[in-house]
Amino acid sequence: MPVLKLPTPLRPYADGQSAIEVQGQNIAEALNDLIRQYPSLQKHLFSDAGTLRPFVNLFLGEEDVRHMQGVETELKADDVLRIIPSIAGGING
Amino acid sequence: MLEIANDLLDQIHTHLEAAHPEEGAGFLLGRADAARRVVTAILALPNAGVDSARHNRYLLTPKDMLRAEDEAARLGLDMIGVFHSHPDCPNLPSEFDRDWAMPWFSYIITRVDVGHAVSSRSWRLSDDRAKFDEEELQIISLAS
């Protein structure tokens, strides 16, 4: 089963785990399974419109999946998918 | 409450003053449990934002995040937050700060006026992402 690795600030919303086995033929299905297992991650990963929040980067191995087929990228049983956020902010304006 | 030794806060302020008039940033490393959060190391990093945005935006890349996780692991610590500056502006979280905030992290925001760090405050995103709540920033004075 593919494994999804979480960054430190999201682990408290997954019972403190850093790596979670997920089911899915592609990344979208794996993310849906993650949310099914840990619903409180939903609002931190997805906007109200259901799109991934802009700071969420997904890496399959060393590759940003934006450079692959995005969330439609297929997963193999031994794949390791990582969520690595961009950290950003700043004053208004 | 977030505890930080005065020498570490001084290191943060030095980094952010050097970045002025642009925003500066970095990671807070330390220990956290339900009762206590303590910063024991910092990782000051360059603002990876584009030239035209660094006056009002900071960016730490996924590569920076991995570097900080590795450094925390090497030191036997956790990543517990982020620090950044608001040049010549109040150290209140902006809407942009909230939109991009990670939960659980402590966010130290330092007001830097004309290159001088004026004050720092710490904030945490609420679980519903609706707002930031201020957490007490306790500065521990170490004998020099």
Domain count along chain B: 1
Q: Is residue A14 part of a domain?
A: yes
Q: Is residue A92 part of a domain?
A: no
Whether B104 and A10 lie within 8 Å, measured CB to CB: yes
Of A40, A57, A88, Cβ closest to residue B57: A88
Please enumerate in sequence order all residues whose Cβ is within 8 A of that of B19, keeping only pairs 6 or more positions apart, or say none. B47, B85, B87, B112
Q: Could you say which DSSP state residue B91 is in? A: S
Q: Is residue A91 part of a domain?
A: no
Q: Is residue A77 part of a domain?
A: yes
pLDDT grade for B131, boundaries at 50, 70 and 90? very high
Whether B23 and A40 lie within 8 Å, measured CB to CB: no
B69 touches chain A (CB under 8 A): yes
The identity of residue A48, as a single letter, is D
Secondary structure (DSSP) of A59-90: EETTEEGGGTTGGG-B--TT-EEEE---EEE-
Whether A88 and B66 lie within 8 Å, measured CB to CB: no
Averaged pLDDT score across all residues of chain B: 95
A31-42 as b/e: b if 16+ CB within 10 A = bebbbebbeebe
What pLDDT score was predicted for residue B142? 78
Q: Is residue A58 part of a domain?
A: yes
pTM beyond 0.80:
yes
What pLDDT score was predicted for residue A16? 95
Q: For residue B56, how far is the Cα from the chain centroid?
A: 15
Q: What percent of chain B has pLDDT over 70?
A: 99
What pLDDT score was predicted for residue A62? 87
Tallying the residues shown for chain A, one arrives at: 93
Shortest Cα distance, chain B CAs vs residue A39, angstroms: 13
Q: Is residue A89 part of a domain?
A: no
A66-92 as b/e: b if 16+ CB within 10 A = eeeeebebebeeebebbbbbbbbbbbe
Q: Is residue A32 part of a domain?
A: yes
B44 touches chain A (CB under 8 A): no
Closest CA to B23 of B131, B110, B98: B110
CATH number of the domain residue B11 falls in:
3.40.140.10
The mean pLDDT value for B75-86 works out to 97
pLDDT tops 80 at residue B144? no
Interface test with A, best of B50, B55, B59 (most A CBs within 10 A): B59
- Read off the pLDDT of residues B10-53 as tens digits, 9 standing for 90 and up: 999 999 999 999 999 999 999 998 889 999 999 999 999 988 88
A46 touches chain B (CB under 8 A): no
What pLDDT score was predicted for residue B83? 98
What is this model's ipTM? 0.92
Domain residues for the domain of A70 are 3-83
Per DSSP, the three-state class of B65 is helix
Q: Is residue A88 part of a domain?
A: no
Domain residues for the domain of B39 are 2-140
What pLDDT score was predicted for residue A50? 92
pLDDT lower than 70: segments of chain A: 93
- CA angle, corner B62, sides to B91 and A40, nearest 5? 75
Whether B65 and A13 lie within 8 Å, measured CB to CB: no
- Read off the pLDDT of residues A51-75 as tens digits, 9 standing for 90 and up: 999 999 999 988 999 999 999 999 9
What is the pairing mode between strands B58-60 and A58-60?
A: unpaired
Q: For residue B122, how far is the Cα from the chain centroid?
A: 8
CATH number of the domain residue A73 falls in:
3.10.20.30
pLDDT tops 60 at residue B79? yes
Domain count along chain A: 1
The identity of residue B109, as a single letter, is I
A/B interface, count of CB pairs below 8 Å = 96
Q: How many CB atoms lie within 10 A of CB B131?
A: 11
The mean pLDDT value for B105-111 works out to 98
